[in-house]
Amino acid sequence: MKRATLAALGLATSFAMPAAAEDIKVGLLLPFSGVYAALGNEIEAGFNLALEQFGDETDATFEIIREDTEVKPPVALGKAKKLILQDDVDVIAGIVSSGVLGAVRDMVHGAGVPLIVANAGNDEATGADCSPFITRMSFSNSQVNRPMGTWMHEQGIGKVYTLAPDYAAGHQMIDAFTASFTAAGGEVVGQEFTPFQKTQDFGPYLAQAKASGADAVYVFYAGGEAISFVKQYDSFGLKAELPLYGSGFLTSPLYVNAEGPAAEGVITALHYVPTIDSTANAVFADAFTAANGRVPSEFAVQGYDAARALIEATKTGASDRASLANALRNVKFEGPRGTLSIDPATNNVIQPIYVYETVAGEDTLTQKVLAQLPAEADPVNGCEMAPVSN
Amino acid sequence: MFRHNALRYAVLALLAAGALFQALTAEYFGLEILTEILILAMLVLALDIVAGFGGMVSLCHGALMGVGAYTYAILSTKAGIAPPVAMAGSIALTGVAAWVIGAICSRSHGIYFIMATLAFGQMAYSYVFEAPIFGGDDGLGGISRLDLSFIGVDLNDSRSFALFCLALLAAIYVASVLILRSGLGRSLSGVMHNEQRMRALGLTVWRVKADVFGLSGMIAGLAGALAAQHILYISPGLLSWTVSGEALVVVILGGLGTLVGPLVGAAAFVVLKHELSAVTTYWHLVVGVILIAVVMSRANGVFGWFESRWGDRIERRMADATRKQQSEEVLTDA
Amino acid sequence: MAHDLGFWTLQALNALQLSMLLFLLSIGLTVIFGLMHFVNLAHGSLYALGAYFAASLAAVGGYWMGFFLAPVAVAGVGVLLYSGLIKRMRKSGPMAQVLVTFGLIFAMLDLTRIFWGDLALGIEVPALLDGRLAFLGVEYPTYRLFIIALGLAIFAALAFVLARTQIGAMIRAGVDNDAMAACLGINVERLFFMVFCFGCALAGLAGAVAAPLLSVTPDMGLQILIPTLIVIVIGGLGSLKGAVSGSLIYGFVQTFGAVLAPQLASVLIYALLAAVLVIKPVGLFPAKG
């Protein structure tokens, strides 16, 4: 009813004001409780910051409806249904876990509601299960890890032992690394997948890594597991003889301070680090730090760029589900991560990858960028999608 | 043994009318909540049968429901079996699993029984969480609902599905009452009150416990198959021990061993959860405090409290002629 | 992969370290049960609380302040819990106790989130225990050796107190028959209270000790609860011997399971538990026959 009135008002005044203000309903679907609550809050903080900074660039206004997924796919699907069928949202943003993305994928695709993915990295979402309505502004699991295989071999590392939690994302991250590392001529001498979210003591696996005869260890861990892993790795004294590399979530700014000095010298790769030297990043990082009292993490920038993409899309005049979906696939802008664009073949973001070392700063740990690896699009991976229609 | 009294009939009628009204008039989200209540109601009925009438406080009923859901999903999506057969299969398999658990745990009592069922539940959870065929942490999708188009019902419509669940819940309720009134149900309450004596009377106690646990498991399995069809997506979280704990909470909040009470509890719990989670992400805190308060109050849940307080009075007013007989019934129920 | 002796020594130490951490947690839970027949599912939440207290205190006054004061603070919470809830729940059945403490888990999980936030915290290993020691021919982190030593010391102290002192005799009498003990002039109520608070303090200590090793997150209490319950059910409720043997069984099965049969590691321990319950429904070393 309210929307109908607004639309009528818009129609009535459209003669006087050519660019009538559109009210866009945005469903923000994030975990605000459960194991990923910290990530949900971080993404939301970034999202709101972008609305604040760039909201004036568009005539559209945004009404945010936030829903808690509790990191449970069935709950998230129920909430997505509510957003689409009852709240009648124009666009959904958010989604932290790949399980949740897998659960809501058919729903948003079937209903034709554009979804801006602000974290979940499962390769299928922009591969075999891609959809013209799903645009990913975060990363794909293989995108973050693939460049590292080649880079590490270039640094003269020949043999690697890998470790990751035993779930879909863990396998995808490690598989992408293994593929490029072995293609470059390296050898993976051992590989172990640890029980996901149930491993607290990594000692048994570290002893195996030590005995494997590898030159280095490459891992993917995130959140609480990353903290435990990095600290235990250091406590066994492995860092000196067996350097630790990994996917950048391992030493994310969100929890690197809980890892403390144990994280020093760990070299990882990620699509964002708060120390990227650019104006866009300075604007973002300063505002975020001022508002939240901590440096932004990759999760914050994902929320920030998700909102930014939405704003860019509305600037083209898009205001309903179909036109927003099309416009989102065409966005391109200069953000804190560098130049971002959307791969027309998969709807995944194309972005540079940063190799960084965690080093001691003045009073906290900071990130020293070692290399910026060029942006490249993921392979299509079985994605078949109608081209953008205008 | 389980008996209805006037109060129970009245509350049942009220619940049925409310659910029917909701099913016929509610908007989309109202129907979702109703269906969630109906499925939870099935699970807590299953739990009340074993816990309230057999003293078997199970912390694996959530896992049993999960087994039902996963069996249905695997059979109907990966094995390509027709949904009705898959549903029957999931009920049967969950029943067998529950029977085995019941048989193994039949020697344990009190806290050991709780811990033993917890162990079996967690075993199922770990297995589902780790085996690749079940989709791991990410879960399974692509599930379809039963096809009832041959009688002109489209279950993909939320309203039809809610009514379908309501009809099944009614059937389960009647079945539960019949089970409890049968020889098996009478033996069960005998076992709960004095296991030694029942054994001395020549009863094979473990068989009684296992049989009832198996039947209860079949109901939980049905609830699971319906839960999979409701959400159309399942994840291992369904089997986690906290789901079993929540089901137990609902049974207690409603009123253990009253069958009607847990139904009230299921409705109250789901509505409370949705209302609170809309207001705060700390809704677990509120639920926890309410739970502590209810258990500390020593009443047998909301319905039990109501029944002990008002049951007699309503009884007297409504059935003057048979007053004596009725009040005896209330006594035997208590 | 062939492994040398050093590898297996290292793994045995890992298993022992995990066992000792679980021992610190399970001993409190099991003695409370043995004496009071009270099932405290919120024991894991007390452990999490201990870790959070330790993290906050360590930020103010360094690791050792957290190490010594966190158990005291958790014992303080124990006093509140005992006088507010537990005392009144003593005579209720196991189900009511399970439910009240289940409610406590919910409440305490959200309270830690409200006070400390969702972000994971961490504590540094103190300088004294940093680094590694050569031990049995392998280099092993000093802090982990410290956990092993602490667990063994507490085990020895408890064994001594229970077997040789008057208070130990009173506790044993209470476990055997609390009504009879009360008749003999033992203030059973006060004994229960003391044991409960001491159990809470040990849970807090376990949290403070685990904090530098793991990460401090709101759900750490839930994560540790199931392993702790498995330990005390395998070992048998109420006995020191049960707690220590259950912890060792869990630690070794978990560690060597992870090395030898990684695919089965987590199902293995549940299968073992089920097997124990089938053969000995009350666990290996129950307090009472």
- Highest average pLDDT, of A85-89, A306-310, B286-290, C270-274, comes from A306-310
Q: Pick from B123, B138, B285 the residue to mutate for testing the A interface (most A CBs within 10 Å).
A: B138
Measured CA angle at B119 (ends B118, B123), to 5 deg: 115
pLDDT at residue B317, as a whole number: 62
pLDDT mean over A295-299: 94
Please state the pTM of the whole predicted model. Answer: 0.87
pLDDT mean over A282-291: 94
**Which chain B residue is nearest to residue A85, measuring alpha carbons?**
B28
Q: Tell me the ipTM for this assembly.
A: 0.87
Residue (of A350, A324, A344, A319) closest to A130 by Cα position = A344
Q: The domain at A2-139+277-350 falls in which architecture?
A: 3-Layer(aba) Sandwich (3.40)
Residue B275 included in any domain:
no
User: B272: distance to nearest CA of chain A, Å?
Assistant: 16
Give the count of domains, chain C.
Answer: 1
Between A187 and B278, the more confident residue is: A187
Which of C113, C122, C258 shows the shortest C-beta gap to A259?
Answer: C122
Q: Do C255 and A201 touch (CB under 8 A)?
A: yes
Give the count of domains, chain B.
Answer: 1
Residues 144-173 on C with a CB inside 8 Å of A are 144
pLDDT at residue A376, as a whole number: 86
* 3-state secondary structure string across chain A: CHHHHHHHHHHHHCCCCCCCCCEEEEEEEECCCCCCHHHHHHHHHHHHHHHHHHHHHCCCEEEEEEEECCCCHHHHHHHHHHHHHHCCCCEEEECCCHHHHHHHHHHHHHHCCCEEECCCCCHHHHCCCCCCCEEECCCCHHHHHHHHHHHHHHCCCCEEEEEEECCHHHHHHHHHHHHHHHHCCCEEEEEEEECCCCCCCCHHHHHHHHHCCCCEEEECCCHHHHHHHHHHHHHCCHHHHCCEEEEHHHHCCCCHHHHHHHHCCCEEEECCCCCCCCHHHHHHHHHHHHHHCCCCCHHHHHHHHHHHHHHHHHHCCCCCHHHHHHHHCCCEEEECCEEEEECCCCCEEECCEEEEEEEECCCCEEEEEEEEECCCCCCCCCCCCCCCCC
In this prediction, residue A17 has a pLDDT band, given cuts at 50, 70 and 90, of very low
Residue C10 included in any domain:
no
Residue B269 included in any domain:
no
Output the CA–CA distances (angstroms, integers) from residue B30 to A122, B21, B22, in the order listed. 33, 11, 7
DSSP 8-state symbol, B234 = B
Q: Do C106 and B291 touch (CB under 8 A)?
A: yes
Domain span at residue B10? 6-238
Residue B101 to residue B120: CA distance in whole angstroms: 7
pLDDT mean over A49-65: 92
Task: Report pLDDT digits (tens) over A256-271.
Answer: 988 988 999 999 999 9
Task: Report pLDDT digits (tens) over B55-107.
Answer: 899 999 999 999 999 999 999 988 888 999 999 999 999 999 999 999 988 88
Which of B29, B136, B227 shows the shortest C-beta gap to A86?
Answer: B29
Q: Fold identical between A2-139+277-350 and A142-270+354-373? A: yes
pLDDT mean over A325-347: 92
Q: Do A73 and B138 touch (CB under 8 A)?
A: yes
Residue C94 included in any domain:
yes
Q: The domain at A142-270+354-373 falls in which architecture?
A: 3-Layer(aba) Sandwich (3.40)
Task: Report pLDDT digits (tens) over A305-328.
Answer: 999 999 999 999 888 899 999 999
Low-confidence ranges of chain C (pLDDT < 70): 1-2, 288-289
Residue C279 included in any domain:
no
pLDDT at residue C288, as a whole number: 60
- Indicate the domain borders of chain A: 2-139+277-350, 142-270+354-373
Is A353's pLDDT higher than 60? yes
How is residue B280 written in tokens?
């705060």
Q: What ranges in C41-132 are assigned the alpha helix state H? A: 43-61, 63-81, 87-89, 94-116
pLDDT mean over B204-232: 94
pLDDT mean over A225-233: 92
Q: Is C262 exposed, middle or buried (0-12, 13-18, 19+ CB in 10 A)?
A: middle
In this prediction, residue A15 has a pLDDT band, given cuts at 50, 70 and 90, of very low
User: B105: distance to nearest CA of chain A, Å?
Assistant: 26
